[in-house]
Structures are given as structure tokens and as C-alpha cells.
Amino acid sequence: MAEATTYNIVGIREDLTDYLTMLEPEDTPKLSSFSKSPRPTSFYQEWQVDNLAPVSFPGVLEGTDASNFANAAQNRARIGNYVQKFWRTWAVSDIVEAADVAGVANEVANAKSKKMRELKRDIESAIGSDNEMQADNGSVPYLMRGLGMWIGGTQTVHAVPSLYTTPTSSQSTTVSTSLTESNFNTVFQSIYEQNGGKRSYELFAGPTLKRYISLFQRVTGSSGTTQTYQVHQGAEEHRIDLHVDLYSGDFHTVTIIPDLFNGLVSANNQATTFPITAQSRARGYVIDPDLVGIGYMIGMENMELPDQGAGRRGLIKSVVTLMVKNPKGLGKFNATS
């Protein structure tokens, strides 16, 4: 019997399942965990910092009257940050809204939800960025100062007084592949010497930095052998844990939180692609939760604009600022790789 060599496919229905899968980095740990600071009521929000005088114990002669008097507020200073406006626009044509789209129950609701997720990533990136604050002058918008500039950055606008900047000893530029526990603990010893006590911190660490912290306490064998790591776990668990999420040292307890949105730089935060780099993978911010906050001048909200005939459209917007109450008590891992 002769075999058919051609087939007529007219009439065969397409099989498009009701699934819509999207894989993109969208965890926003800083935005999710930083406390809410007081709501900004102007484009520039300020707060005050102060310090204590150096210790002094020379003794006082009996019967001596006080003759020198100190101004207790002489080192008090005001620091602040500009607010920044974020938005993401959306539009759905009338034909698309009326169509039956696979995997999407409501195209308008889907557009709003997606743009809100994108806006959260934008804000997270700005918080963790190296951006300097900027005033709106009619040509450029307000920008807030990111953590990378607050902690050890070269500030050019409303610079923090030197008494309250992050000491260089509270920052490490050691490349991740060479990072040791000694380097790690040196940063926290410096922070301890500023804060005067052992505290609990959060380290928002890029994936490369996180990976090399997990190598602490492993023993490197001779040339050609693999690293060894001794763990004690019940055999009934059928698992081996080789990661470090909580590190308790001499001067600190730190929770290590993976973060992809550190040290990013883009013109007015308008990157065309997700700009993960060797620097952002190696960046880490040591945060005292009591010293940072996010202030919402305008919370995240949807604004629907008039339909001029093509279909529904609108935008998701928010106006926020980052409050760093005193950069002196924070730290940074600032390797380029």
C-alpha cells in the first residue's frame, strides 16, 4: 500500500493551554523588611543626628568651681533625602480586552498586577543603588540617595557631616573569592566600635557574596583535593546543609538575606534590561533595622486615565524616600566581583 507523503492540516485546532509562566527576579527583601519611617510632607525630608563627647576622666580638684562650659548641641546636624517618584504605565486596547486570552482571566487586571510588581522592583533597585540624590529643576527629576551612596559613597549633594559618615573600616573591598572570616569580622568589629554594643543585623548580600560566606569554616585540602566541611545531622533527615543564613560572631549576630538589587546604576533608574553585574552580585549592605526606614509620601496606587478610544489605560505610581538615620552605624561589602 502506498504511504501518504503529504497531510492536510486544515481544520486542526490549536492547543493553547491556560498557562502563562513568567520567570524574573522579583524578590524585594529591602522593601519588604525595612520599617516605615514618618511620611514625608515635602520634597526634601530631614532628620537630626548627634553624638557624645569623647570620654574624659582627669578628676576634679576639691573646692574647684566650674569655669568651662560645653555646648551639648554643638555637633548636632541635619541630614536628609529627596523623595523620588516612580511610575509604570499600562494600556489594554478595547479589542484585546474583549478577546479570550489563554492564561489570563482579565487583561486589565493582569496589566495592573504586572506593572505593580515591576514598580516594586524599581523601588527596591533605587534603595540599593549607588545613585546620589538629585533635585528636580524642570529638566531632571527628584532622585533619592541609595544605600550605596549613603554608606561610604562620595556625596555631592547635602553631604553627611564627617562625624556621621560610615568609617572605611566598616567597609570591605576584598573580592568575594578572597573573603575570609577575618575580613568579615573586621567589618562588624568596626560597626561594634561605633554602636558600642553587640546587635542583630541584616546583611542584604548579592549571590556571589552569599555563596562565599557559606564557605566559612570549610577546610581546604591539598592541591587537587576538594574542600571539606564537617556537619553533624541525624541520618534520618536524609539531607546535608551547606549554607549559612545566620552568623553569630564576637560582635554581632547577622541574618544573611540574598538580594539581587544592590549597587545597580542606571540613568534616572530607566534601565532597558535588568542590569545584574559582577559588582551587584558581590555587593552587601550591613543594616541595623533601627537605623533605616522607607517613607511613603504617596503609597502605591493605581490611577486609571481617560479612554480616548483605543482602550483602557493608566499607571501605577508611588512617591517614596529612603531614611538612613545615621550612616555611622552601617557597613558595606563593596567588592567589584
Range in 98-107, 168-177, 184-193, 238-247 the model is least confident about? 238-247
pLDDT (0 to 100) of residue 270: 53
Average confidence score pLDDT of the chain: 85
Domains and CATH numbers, the chain: 29-49+77-218+242-334 (3.90.1690)
Rounded Cα–Cα distance for residues 150 and 159 (Å): 9
pLDDT (0 to 100) of residue 250: 83
Rounded Cα–Cα distance for residues 100 and 113 (Å): 19
> Between 268 and 327, whose confidence is greater?
327
pLDDT (0 to 100) of residue 8: 62
Arithmetic mean of pLDDT, 160-185: 94
Beta bridge partners of 303: 315
Q: What is the pLDDT of residues 43-102, one digit of tens each?
A: 999 999 999 988 889 899 999 999 889 999 999 999 999 999 999 999 999 998 888 887
Strands of the 252-258 sheet, one edge to the other: 171-172, 331-334, 283-287, 199-205, 252-258, 246-248
Global pTM reads 0.86
Arithmetic mean of pLDDT, 14-40: 75
In this structure, are residues 262 and 179 in contact, taking their beta carbons and an 8 Å threshold? no
Arithmetic mean of pLDDT, 203-220: 84
DSSP codes of every residue in 70-127:
--TTTT-EEEEEE-EEEEEEEEEEHHHHHS--TT-S-HHHHHHHHHHHHHHHHHHHHH
Confidence of residue 221 (pLDDT cuts 50, 70, 90): low
> Between 62 and 10, whose confidence is greater?
62
Q: What is the pLDDT of residues 131-143, one digit of tens each?
A: 999 999 999 999 9
In this structure, are residues 130 and 115 in contact, taking their beta carbons and an 8 Å threshold? no
219-227 long-range CB contacts below 8 Å, 24 or more apart?
none
Confidence of residue 17 (pLDDT cuts 50, 70, 90): low
